[in-house]
Amino acid sequence: MNMANSSKKMISLSDHFTYGTLIRFTLSSMLVMIFTSIYSVVDGFFVSNYVGSTPFAALNLIFPFIMFFSAVGFMFGAGGGALVALTLGEGNRDKANGIFSFIIYIVLFIGIVFAVIGYIITPIVAVRLGATEAMLPFCIEYARVSFIGLPAFMLQNSFQVFLITAERPQLGLVVTLIAGMTNIVLDAVFMGIAGFGLWSAALATIIGQFLGGFIPLFYFFAPNSSKLRLGKPLFDAKALCKTVINGSSEFLSNVSMSVVNMLYNFQLMKYAGESGVSAYGIIMYTNFIFVGIFFGYSMGVAPIAGYNLGAERYEELKNVFKRSIKLISIAGVLMTAVSFLAAGFLAGIFTGSDQALHEMTKNAIIIYSIAYIFIGYNIFASAFFTGLNNGIVSAAISFLRTLVFQVVSVLILPLILGLNGIWGAIVSAELSAFLFTVYCFLHFKGRYHYA
């Protein structure tokens, strides 16, 4: 009896989705992204309150450079997850497992190579980003320790999607909780109790990343009841190419965000100095949490779209699309309202007694909050087209949203509005991307039958 009830609660890619089951199925991936964001916030909290303002600014300056490399993990996870889900929908489980294994081994190899490259070039990049003489040693120590954990972090990013495809999103949440709580506890011990420096924040992070990357690795190697299992890889150049194209939107999105964040920091060093970089870092911490909800939901829906396309279940594809648009609309309005009303509180978590920094950050959060009305649609559209295995459209949305529109905005608006132009650049970019997203939804609805 209990086993029967338990099986009924298990949601499959082949199910009919209501609002309730959509939220339940994607809840784990949303919580994964939220908790991952919270752990980043905790890092910032301990550094800003226990290590100092200059190390905090250095952390925010060099962090986008580290994330630049990790984008490959997101690419293979999103692109490979969509392809594996499509293959499962076509009923070819052995091929799906061969592709899955092939992708994971490639991610691990690339992670090791990138870790070495990042470790070597960190000092040059930090100088190019505008690190002051006081900030430079902190940038170097944080980044170099962080790169030791890069292979595990890339695996963790890939497994977040594959665990959804394997219909085990709850395991992804458990792994994230274990990794994140380890990070938080070690932050408190290293910086709060022992009084260690910035390097210990990076050490706490990579220990959590090793747990987050290798627990799923061992799970998929061992016998398990999911749809996926690591084993003999299928060396398929066509599948690899399809994975890269499918995941190019997530790759471009993460790379572009890193590049744009570095550009923001460069502009802020000119317009507001070290305080501007700190304020932007605070915005990013709060932004990670809100946007993480959209990313988590979209990651959860993409395999559903891929499965239903492969199985030619077009009515269900329409159902999932329609319900998703409504959920995202509600979430966008709520996030804007919460961010606007809580701006002072959010700024106060990191600024302490620095009243000038508090006011700057509060004003920035209020302006930035308008963008949440549009961000959800753009993130969902990119992930949805990835799920439909149309990496070109997905990449175009991400490329325009996270790079082209933002670069243009952050370079031009400050010339007109000064510092407020930097904070408002995201609103301009997301609105422009939203218009392109609407065009793509209308243009491709006939091909994929989702509307």
Q: How far apart are CA 19 and CA 116, in angstroms?
A: 45
Per residue in 157-197, pLDDT (tens digit) is 888 878 888 878 788 888 888 998 999 999 999 998 998 99
Task: Give mean pLDDT, residues 194-203.
Answer: 92
Q: What is the mean pLDDT of the chain?
A: 86
Q: How far apart are CA 221 and CA 319, in angstroms?
A: 35
Give the model's pLDDT for residue 352: 66
Tokens coding 175: 């792994």
pLDDT surpasses 90 at 335: yes
Question: Within 13 Å of residue 355, how many CA atoms lie on the same side as its CB?
Answer: 0
Task: Give mean pLDDT, residues 307-321.
Answer: 89
Per residue in 401-412, pLDDT (tens digit) is 888 999 999 999
Give the model's pLDDT for residue 277: 80
Task: Give mean pLDDT, residues 105-119.
Answer: 93
- Mark out the alpha helices in 90-168 (DSSP H runs): 93-128, 136-148, 150-165
CA 1 to chain centre: 40
Sorted by sequence, the CB contacts under 8 Å of residue 278 that are 6+ apart come out as: 48, 53, 56, 57, 60, 350, 357, 361
Angle between helix axes 419-448 and 237-271 (nearest 10 degrees) is: 160
pLDDT band at 259 (very low <50, low <70, confident <90, very high): confident
- In 3D, which of 286, 425, 434 has the Cα closest to residue 367? 425
Lowest mean pLDDT of 67-71, 143-147, 373-377, name the range. 67-71
pLDDT band at 4 (very low <50, low <70, confident <90, very high): very low
Task: Give mean pLDDT, residues 385-404.
Answer: 86
Give the model's pLDDT for residue 163: 86
DSSP letter assigned to residue 15: S
Lowest mean pLDDT of 52-66, 68-82, 168-182, 430-444, name the range. 68-82
Helix, strand, coil percentages, rounded to 5, for the chain: 85, 0, 15
pLDDT band at 2 (very low <50, low <70, confident <90, very high): very low
In degrees and rounded to multiples of 5, residue 313 shows phi and psi of -100, 75
Give the model's pLDDT for residue 268: 86
**Residue 117 is which amino acid?**
I
Sorted by sequence, the CB contacts under 8 Å of residue 189 that are 6+ apart come out as: none
Task: Give mean pLDDT, residues 430-435.
Answer: 96
Lowest mean pLDDT of 80-94, 283-297, 312-326, 346-360, name the range. 346-360
Task: Give mean pLDDT, residues 316-340.
Answer: 94
Residues in the chain: 451
Give the model's pLDDT for residue 9: 57
Per residue in 260-270, pLDDT (tens digit) is 888 888 888 88
The model carries a pTM of 0.70
Lowest mean pLDDT of 170-184, 352-366, 411-425, name the range. 352-366
Q: How far apart are CA 296 and CA 357, in angstroms?
A: 31
Task: Give mean pLDDT, residues 25-30.
Answer: 84
Task: Give mean pLDDT, residues 217-237.
Answer: 86
- In 3D, which of 179, 171, 189 has the Cα closest to residue 210? 179
**Residue 161 is which amino acid?**
V
DSSP letter assigned to residue 235: -
